[in-house]
Amino acid sequence: MAVHTAAHHSSGQVLPFRESLMAMLGVSFVTMLVALDQTVVGTALPTIVAELKGFELYAWVATSYLLTSVITVPIFGRLGDYYGRKPFVIASIIVFTGASVLCGMANSMLFLVIARGLQGIGGGMLVGTAFACIADLFPDSVVRLRWQVLMSSAFGIANAVGPSLGGFLTQYYGWRSVFYVNLPVGLVSLFFVWRFLPHLRHIEHEAKMRLDWPGALLIAVALGSLQLFVELLPKHGISGVAPLLLAVSLVSGWGLWKWEKHFAQPILPLDMFRNRSLSALFTLSVLGGFTMFSLLFYAPLLFQGGFGLSPKEAGLVITPLVVFITIGSIANGRFVSRMRNPNLMLYAGFTLLAIACLGVVVATRGMPRSILMTFMILGGMGLGFVMPNLTIFAQQTAGREHLCIATALLQSRLMIGGMLGTALTGTFVSHMYASGVRTALENDHATQWFDDLGDPQILINHEAQATLLSQLAHAGHNGALLLEAARESLVSAIHIGLAVAAAIAVVSVWQSRRVPPIKLVRHVEPVIHVD
């Protein structure tokens, strides 16, 4: 393919308006694919667990996706810098959509977790390349902010319909349909990307690229062992395999740092971590991911399992959260380019997110739906202020040389935070729920029923509830009281888990002061067009 420098057709963009619009539609559909999957699955997950019967793997439905995404994001971010991003965006759509079909075919929780891991590979490829495409199309950060509203709108539309759609599909067509819905979206996004997204890159390379496979392997071992440590620590304590896993994670992390210092083309450029601004933004991305994914995955479980709402009702309560992510992003695009100190939006965003988490922590079953939805609105606005700015600030700080890898690393750290958040919150919930149920059964001398009541799926599966209540009544126990005790245990457990998420959001407000003042300067650089 021939390589030449593309002329800028207007200030800050490399294509004419119509071509820019069609290319952005392609990127937006890709974004919609990922966002729709995240929100739909979150609402359906309690029902999935109730049918497949594997609550011990509840957190892994999220974390397996996040773990593989974390590994693939920097790999394909680096490959995209070298070869251009379009081929990898196309490949990622195919992998993601195919894995979604496999998720819908799952007949066990283990199969679902494995399929979600494969889906995470496609999702990591998407995040590592699609987000950087916007910077390719619009090198000027101010122009980029305006066009990013289109992607934010697509993200918001998917998030807006996701919870309600997930609840509707789960209730009327079964949970498998929430994965199959990715198929038409994937086909549409594939068409637009194939047809309209140009093949762009910024540097013409003469030498053959050496991909840092040892670095990628060390990342996988470090993060995978850390994930397993977090999962196993509450169950096995400091004895057994948990300390060994922590040691493996630390040694792998140290080995990664030593290796990357001497590799010519490292997957993690260490000079970026010495940059004060980038380092602070990476830290905020981890903290933000922790809070965001904890809220997105465990609020539906609280509303369905704890408060007794149907999947459809829970979806309606969650909808304002994801709708206002878009509204917040659009408002942010209008304000931040005009502000003398854009950093203030980070303070505002994390503060709103902390208030939302604290609101859910104090929420009760009798609380009016309007108040619950208000907490969701605040959380959505907070995320809408935080997420676009973390990306824009990192791109502005890193410069053209490291633009894609900076974007990829920021997104991967968001996923690392999400992985840790869902794992730790899931650990809290599993451990505390089991403890509360066991105590209630011991007080009623009904410990033989722990296998049935010790899994939160019983609080969502109404058919199983009816069967269990009948069996308990036949055995002379008050099943309604025991079921209520289990529900209270679940609510308390999720409250504590989300209280930790709220504390992390408060830490994020404090951490925001470490980000040096960011200036959004209009600046246009040439881009290489691969025909």
- In tens, the pLDDT along 30-71 reads 878 877 776 677 667 777 877 887 767 766 777 788 778 777
At 460, the pLDDT band (50, 70, 90 cuts) reads: confident
Please state, in angstroms and rounded to a whole number, the distance separating the CA atoms of residues 268 and 253: 12
62 and 418 Cβ atoms separated by less than 8 Å: yes
Amino acid 59: pLDDT? 67
Residue 487, pLDDT > 90, answer: no
Pairwise pLDDT comparison (3 vs 132), residue with the higher score: 132
Q: What is this structure's pTM? A: 0.74
Residue 345, pLDDT > 60, answer: yes
Tens-digit pLDDT profile for residues 291-303: 988 888 788 888 8
Residue with tokens 């404090």: 510
Mean pLDDT over residues 135-152, rounded? 72
Mean pLDDT over residues 219-237, rounded? 72
Please state, in angstroms and rounded to a whole number, the distance separating the CA atoms of residues 375 and 259: 45
Residue 16, pLDDT > 60, answer: yes
417 and 289 Cβ atoms separated by less than 8 Å: yes
Amino acid 379: pLDDT? 92
Pairwise pLDDT comparison (219 vs 62), residue with the higher score: 219
Q: Which amino acid is at 382?
A: G
Please state, in angstroms and rounded to a whole number, the distance separating the CA atoms of residues 385 and 108: 39
- What percent of the chain lies above the pLDDT cut of 90? 13
Show the tokens assigned to 75: 């790999």
Residue 2, pLDDT > 70, answer: no
The continuous run of DSSP H or E covering 480 comes out as: helix 479-511
Local structure of 6: helix, strand or coil: strand
Tens-digit pLDDT profile for residues 372-408: 999 999 998 998 888 888 887 887 777 666 666 777 7
Residue 27, pLDDT > 80, answer: yes
Residue 221, pLDDT > 90, answer: no
Candidates 341, 405, 446, 385; CA nearest to 73 is: 405
Amino acid 208: pLDDT? 64
At 1, the pLDDT band (50, 70, 90 cuts) reads: very low
Tens-digit pLDDT profile for residues 122-138: 888 887 777 777 777 77
Of the ranges 107-116, 400-409, 507-516, which one carries the lowest mean pLDDT score? 400-409
Please state, in angstroms and rounded to a whole number, the distance separating the CA atoms of residues 104 and 96: 13
Candidates 272, 259, 267; CA nearest to 216 is: 267
Residue 428, pLDDT > 90, answer: no
Amino acid 5: pLDDT? 40
Q: Mean pLDDT for the chain?
A: 79
The angle subtended at Cα 445 by Cα 443 and Cα 448, nearest 5°, is: 120
Mean pLDDT over residues 336-360, rounded? 90
Show the tokens assigned to 42: 């979150």
At 355, the pLDDT band (50, 70, 90 cuts) reads: very high
Mean pLDDT over residues 234-255, rounded? 80
Pairwise pLDDT comparison (356 vs 66), residue with the higher score: 356
- What percent of the chain lies above the pLDDT cut of 70? 84
Pairwise pLDDT comparison (77 vs 313), residue with the higher score: 313
Mean pLDDT over residues 258-272, rounded? 77
Question: Phi/psi zone of residue 246: left (φ > 0), alpha (ψ -120 to 50 degrees), beta?
Answer: alpha
Local structure of 240: helix, strand or coil: coil
35 and 158 Cβ atoms separated by less than 8 Å: yes
Mean pLDDT over residues 139-146, rounded? 70
Mean pLDDT over residues 178-189, rounded? 86
Beta-strand (E) ranges in 145-204?
Answer: 199-201
For 227, half-sphere exposure in the C-beta direction (CA atoms, 13 angstrom radius) is 25
Show the tokens assigned to 267: 């997957």
Domain 3-199+265-433+490-530 indexed as CATH 1.20.1250.20 = yes
**Distance (Å) of CA 84 to CA 379, 492, 500:** 36, 49, 40
Of the ranges 181-195, 231-245, 268-282, 370-384, which one carries the lowest mean pLDDT score? 231-245
Please state, in angstroms and rounded to a whole number, the distance separating the CA atoms of residues 391 and 384: 12
Of 205-209, 225-229, 324-328, 512-516, highest mean pLDDT: 512-516
Residue 283, pLDDT > 70, answer: yes
Amino acid 95: pLDDT? 93
Mean pLDDT over residues 327-347, rounded? 83
Amino acid 236: pLDDT? 62
Amino acid 201: pLDDT? 62
DSSP3 helix / strand / coil % (the chain, rounded to 5)? 80, 0, 20
